A and B are shown apart, each in its own frame.
Chain A
Amino acid sequence: MYRSMATLIVLLATALPAPAAGETFQTDAWRYLPVLGGGRHKPLDTLARDSVWAITGQTSVADPESGQTVEPTALYLEMVLQRQDWGPAADPHVAGGLSELAAYFASHEPDKWDEAPLLPVTNAQLRKALAMDDGQKRISPVELCKAKIEDPESSKRAPFLIWVQSVRPDESGKFGKFQKAARELSERLWSYHILRTAQGLRMMPIRGDKTGRWYSAAALTRLDFDDKSDPSGEMRMVQLHLRDAKAAYLADSPESFNEASDALLATLRELGPKLVDESKDYPTPGIIRLEVGYNTWRPFRVAWIFTLIAAVGLAIGSTNTRWKAVSVAGLVALAVGLGAILIGLVIRWVLKGTPPVTNLYESVVFTALGTAAFGLVFGLWSRRHGILAAAAVVTTIILLLADFCPSVLDPALRPLPPVLRSPEFLVIHVMTIMLGYAALALAVGIGNVTLGTYLLGLHQEETIKVQCRFTYESLKAGVLLLLVGTILGGIWADFSWGRFWGWDKKEVWALITLLAYLIILHARHTNWLGNRGMTAGAVLCFTFVLMAWYGVNFLHGGLHNYGLSGEEGPLWVGSACLLQLAFVGAAIIVSYNRPTAKFD
């Protein structure tokens, strides 16, 4: 199935107007070059995007001279090919230390990329220690290589590259914020170095290597193959074409570059599958095209655009029963959004080989899928705008979070740690939990719509009652799924680790969440909570879900010692929870002071 989808995406991609050939450097075909990086095979397109992110913390980079944003693969190739010297590496498979980098600038003039402010320095203390201007948020690679840092403890100044290697964790194995920021910065510089010296561009498998290693471009140009190590001569052809391409690029000759790169890519396409060991795979062109398509079209971005349209359409449609077309358009947009999420997740499944619920990003996206699906079902069942709109809004919010918080929700495709490699159980467990969260998120959405319409006085009693009923339905579905999912988690843990329940923080917070919702359901059941109480409860109890899902990750080694990149995360989530509390409180206070309206 994914093949046909890939073909479709490729067709769409190729249908784009191609730039005039012959005069410019053609790098588009390079996007589809299979490379090895981060423990998996991927197209150069993905590697280029990952590298840009790893170096700059941004998804795109502008050319320092023209100021125009450059397409990631073109940028990657430019940065690799423009470099005169791919550096001395004694062992072609192992990269040298940071000192290699300092040595480079001692004998080479920095080029425009070396002088471009690429590396972000987010920590103010670190900026000060590096004697950067207060307004200067980024530092260029050459500046950083020559920078001296003032050690915050000893107040001594030392070259940054030397100092950073002496940074050690404290007794509990953790780094302070300053040290963490410094290490992060050195890692960015390291990524830059690896990119520029073509050591990251692992483009050709080492013949029959059991561990599945690939030659980097840097290694390829240095190696001497003979008839024994390269009987068909194809590896030498690759070498030749690579050298030609580089020479042509440096000579600013697009024609010969395009010719050499076409030949290079064609040879690699032929040669690659023949080189890999029997126990390893070489990515098929279909998979590569699929991943490039995924990178280009970003299905989850498409999805939130549609769900946003759905939310607006449904909100407008609800104000006037005669604007049926707007409502129907909203409904269709929601369904399209749902489809886009589904397609995106299926593509990730195909690319990773494991179902797409194995990291925080994927679980968040999967929850969006669940919210949209539950919203559609409940919305069509109830035929209420409010419920569909609530689903659209919640889905949009979740997808926006996934799309715009890449430092917390890492969208990169990564191989799984060993303990998670138990597809059946893990997948069912996580999917069930995430669907549960989705239903509970929908309950929050419907609850907020109810409270909002009530606060604004737009409500009809009947609508409120229907919405409350579906809040209750969402709670039921959510609690049952959460229950089953938590139990499946126990079974998975029992199967994998030999214990059903280990009082792990994550487990305990899942239990707390369940208990909280069970209190609401039991209290609703006996009518100690009316519609109003249940709505408030359904909205507020989601705090527990956030804690179990996200907050728990910050509950280790003390509350202050969490990841630098996600520093503001808990603050934002906490503020959102407080805002929600205030909103619920306001609705309840208003409901007590509004004797005529029935909402209790």
Chain B
Amino acid sequence: MRLNSRPLGIPETEGRITAPGGACPGAIGVIGLRIPAVHVDSSPFAAGSLDILFLRVRVTVMAKKRGGKSGPAHSRINAPQQEKAVDPSWGGPILASLRFLGSLKLALVLMAVSIVVLARATFLESERDLDYALWFIYHSWWFITLVSLLAGNVVVAMLLKLPWKRRHIGFLVAHAGLLVLMAGSFQTFVAGIDGHVQVVEGGPPAESLILRDRSQLTTSWREGDATVAVDFSFAPGPADWPGGRTKDLGESDEIRVKVLGLYRHAYGTAGWGEDPSGVSSPVIHFALVGADGRQVTEKWLVGRKTIGTTMTVGPTNVTLSEVPVRSMLADLLDPPTDKLGAKGLLSIHYKGQVKQIPVDENVGKTVSIGDDGTKVEIVRYLAQPTSEPDGTFNSAGDEPHNPMLDLWVHLPNVKEPLRQLSLAKTPLMDFSGSRGIECPVKFFYHHPAVAVRQAVEFLQAPDGKLFCRVGTGKRYESRGEVGEGDTIKTSSGYQVHLLRHVRHARRETKFTPVKKKPGQSAAPEAAAHFEVSVAGETQEIWLQRNNRQFGAYTMQTPKGPMRIDFDYAQCPLGFSLKLIDFERGMNPGGMGDATYSSVVEIEDKSGLTQQHKIAMNEPAEYGKFTLYQSGFDNAGDGREVSRLRVAYDPGRLLKYAGCVMICLGTFMVFYLRGLF
């Protein structure tokens, strides 16, 4: 027989006060009465030395419950709620709903719901990735609502315990700690910065950190000597945007950016599309088909302004040129062949009018064209032009070899005559732009010594219509206007099949969305469809994030050429960081890495530098940021690249305080009940 007492519901051997909660309103039925109880111990270990363990005398007071269940001693925390339930002053629907909001039942339901949601989220993370789970669950409005409800529940539950007593301390500390932890986490969520920098040993310093979960579109253009840049940043999310979802990134400096669509992972293939500004050159896509009807090849051909482009495909040449004026088409499609003198024939195009002048009798003479006094002077004829170092031309001989005419154009209101050159072999070559003044008079020089090439020549008129002529080696045959789907027969039996014609082409990348497999590390980057408007000019472009080939685009705008870059969002560090040295410590025998560390030099705005060592588990602090060693890479040239995580966590103090409170409070609730 020993004097003993047991906590926690062992009614047979303990004294017990029954507080009939329902029938005793307002009564403090549960208080810290200490009642020793007699306990008969039948354990075989009756060793006296163990007695110390049994000397604790605990309070055991049971609250009588529905169904007569006996609960543990500290069900007294619950008891005041029951008291209040019958207190007439605690009435009204507001209080009733408050009591519901602060009820343990709600808390348990919320916790159970959280378990289901969290478990689902981890499975979602396995199927997709963490970004996906973060976006659709952990950082979603409804999950934050769920957590807020739990927080609200805790707040109301604490308030319902008013006026607080000593015995509430543990409960209050633990639950207030939970709220403080949540507040700290929220602060981190809202105001925290978490990114990384990548620095090469001996390479350029890093000025800003890269944020993985945000992207930005940077528009930059020259203004005087300076480059002006405007950033538009947004969170793209972890998945393809559903059709129709757009995001307006706002307007700044007359630039407005809208995201029209996004693929999380996409493969880009380069192609051509219509340039709405209408200034770029044409592009054709054609197939070469052999005499047997089998396709030989398929090519894109980009026409260049003023001289055109020639591509040798199989046995034939395909050229694409732009004709500067409509009237010049006749020179190409139906070239004069019989009237050419020894020095050829010059077609002069001015304001839609054509004047054909035999060169033989007009060298050194001035010809008047049009009604406004515009004159053309044929200064020299060069049979074999060679350019001299001083910029002048001479003729190497009299045998015509790409003969050239040196011309002066006298414009009515211009003092100085405009110098122009016309070459018979490349008649479309226009030197007009090289003097800075566009010459309104255009020339086409026909010369009998220039051989007819074997070629399929596509000619785009100024209105965008495409014409074609075929050189047979003897003469040119006009094929008139051609369009997509047309087939042009060459003299050698091959056929050129015109698949696509873009009047004014710009590079356009087609993106095909791809699905990332779980665990796949090297999935392609995201691609987004943007609408960029600059001072009323609007263009739609597709760009791939952080991609050298498809990540940038230059748009012609009223501000001048504007470069557009799509990349991860960046955040200025406020200092520059240089990697001095990166080290890898090995296990004995060179088996696996034991440690890695970086020595970095940080230079602040005032130019002061200081060195820091950052190693695994040894972060460095600078300013508001903490820098952690997170990984390494190889620059490819033997230099090492260190990857540092850079984080700013404003909620850290609150989180830590909350954690301490939770642990302390729980400990008090569990083990220090007797002291309060």
- Report which A residues bind B (CB closer than 8 A): 36-41, 170-174, 202, 211-214, 280, 317, 321, 324, 327-328, 331, 380-385, 415-419, 421-422, 461-462, 465-466, 468-469, 472, 476, 479-480, 483-484, 487, 490-491, 494-505, 508-509, 511-512, 515-516, 518-519, 522-528, 530-531, 552, 555-559, 561, 600
A380, B50: Cβ atoms closer than 8 Å = yes
A503, B44: Cβ atoms closer than 8 Å = no
Looking at the assembled complex, report how far the CB atom of A168 sits from the nearest CB atom of chain B, in whole angstroms. Answer: 14
Q: Cβ of A172: which chain B residues have Cβ within 8 Å of it?
A: 517-520
Q: Cβ of A37: which chain B residues have Cβ within 8 Å of it?
A: 589
Assess A526 versus B71: contact at CB under 8 Å? Given A415-B587, A512-B118. yes
Give me the 4 closest cross-chain CB pairs, A-B, nearest first.
A383-B43, A39-B591, A39-B587, A527-B71
A556, B619: Cβ atoms closer than 8 Å = no
B520, A487: Cβ atoms closer than 8 Å = no
Contact among A421, A483, A559 with B594 in the assembled complex (CB-CB below 8 Å): A421
B647 at the interface (CB under 8 A from A): yes
A38, B75: Cβ atoms closer than 8 Å = no
Q: Cβ of B18: which chain A residues have Cβ within 8 Å of it?
A: none
A-B contact pairs, 24 of them (CB 8 A): A170-B517, A172-B518, A173-B520, A321-B44, A324-B44, A331-B45, A383-B50, A384-B43, A418-B595, A421-B616, A462-B12, A466-B6, A469-B6, A476-B670, A487-B662, A491-B659, A496-B628, A499-B649, A503-B134, A508-B122, A527-B75, A530-B70, A555-B125, A558-B127
Cα(A244)–Cα(B337), bound, Å? 101
Q: Mark B43-64, 1 if CB is under 8 A from A, else 0.
A: 1110000100110000000010
Closest to B133 in A: A503
Q: Cβ of B53: which chain A residues have Cβ within 8 Å of it?
A: 380-381
Q: Cβ of A512: which chain B residues have Cβ within 8 Å of it?
A: 115, 118-119
Closest to A41 in B: B588
B592 at the interface (CB under 8 A from A): yes
Q: Cβ of B593: which chain A residues have Cβ within 8 Å of it?
A: 417-418
Looking at the assembled complex, report how far the CB atom of A556 sits from the nearest CB atom of chain B, in whole angstroms. Answer: 6
Closest to B45 in A: A383
* 8 A Cβ contacts from B614-655 to A: 616-617, 619, 626, 628, 630, 645-647, 649, 652, 655
Cα(A525)–Cα(B654), bound, Å? 29
B118, A469: Cβ atoms closer than 8 Å = no
Assess A519 versus B619: contact at CB under 8 Å? Given A41-B588, A556-B126. no
Q: Cβ of A496: which chain B residues have Cβ within 8 Å of it?
A: 616-617, 619, 628
Q: Cβ of A417: which chain B residues have Cβ within 8 Å of it?
A: 592-593
B108, A498: Cβ atoms closer than 8 Å = no
Contact among A416, A422, A504, A557 with B518 in the assembled complex (CB-CB below 8 Å): A557
Assess A500 versus B652: contact at CB under 8 Å? Given A39-B588, A171-B520. yes
A508, B518: Cβ atoms closer than 8 Å = no
Looking at the assembled complex, report how far the CB atom of B442 sits from the nearest CB atom of chain A, in whole angstroms. Answer: 57
Cα(A321)–Cα(B40), bound, Å? 15
Closest to A527 in B: B71
Cα(A559)–Cα(B670), bound, Å? 39
B126, A505: Cβ atoms closer than 8 Å = yes
Q: Cβ of B8: which chain A residues have Cβ within 8 Å of it?
A: 469, 472
A497, B45: Cβ atoms closer than 8 Å = no
Q: Cβ of B166: which chain A residues have Cβ within 8 Å of it?
A: none
Closest to A479 in B: B666
Closest to B137 in A: A503
Cα(A559)–Cα(B125), bound, Å? 12
B78 at the interface (CB under 8 A from A): yes
Which one of B108, B589, B617 has the highest number of Cβ atoms from chain A below 10 Å of its Cβ? B589
B130 at the interface (CB under 8 A from A): yes
Closest to B188 in A: A500
Q: Cβ of A280: which chain B residues have Cβ within 8 Å of it?
A: 588
Contact among B7, B45, B72, B138 with A327 in the assembled complex (CB-CB below 8 Å): B45
Q: Cβ of B222: which chain A residues have Cβ within 8 Å of it?
A: none
Assess A558 versus B663: contact at CB under 8 Å? Given A476-B670, A497-B628, A498-B628. no
Q: Cβ of B595: which chain A residues have Cβ within 8 Å of it?
A: 418, 421
Q: Cβ of B441: which chain A residues have Cβ within 8 Å of it?
A: none
* 8 A Cβ contacts from B187-222 to A: 188, 194
B447 at the interface (CB under 8 A from A): no
Assess A498 versus B645: contact at CB under 8 Å? Given A421-B616, A487-B663, A530-B69. yes
A559, B126: Cβ atoms closer than 8 Å = yes
B418 at the interface (CB under 8 A from A): no
Closest to B127 in A: A558
Closest to B79 in A: A526
Q: Cβ of A327: which chain B residues have Cβ within 8 Å of it?
A: 44-45
A39, B592: Cβ atoms closer than 8 Å = yes
B481 at the interface (CB under 8 A from A): no
Assess A36 versus B122: contact at CB under 8 Å? Given A380-B45, A418-B593, A531-B9. no
Looking at the assembled complex, report how far the CB atom of A485 sits from the nearest CB atom of chain B, in whole angstroms. Answer: 10
Assess A557 versus B69: contact at CB under 8 Å? Given A36-B588, A421-B617, A525-B78. no
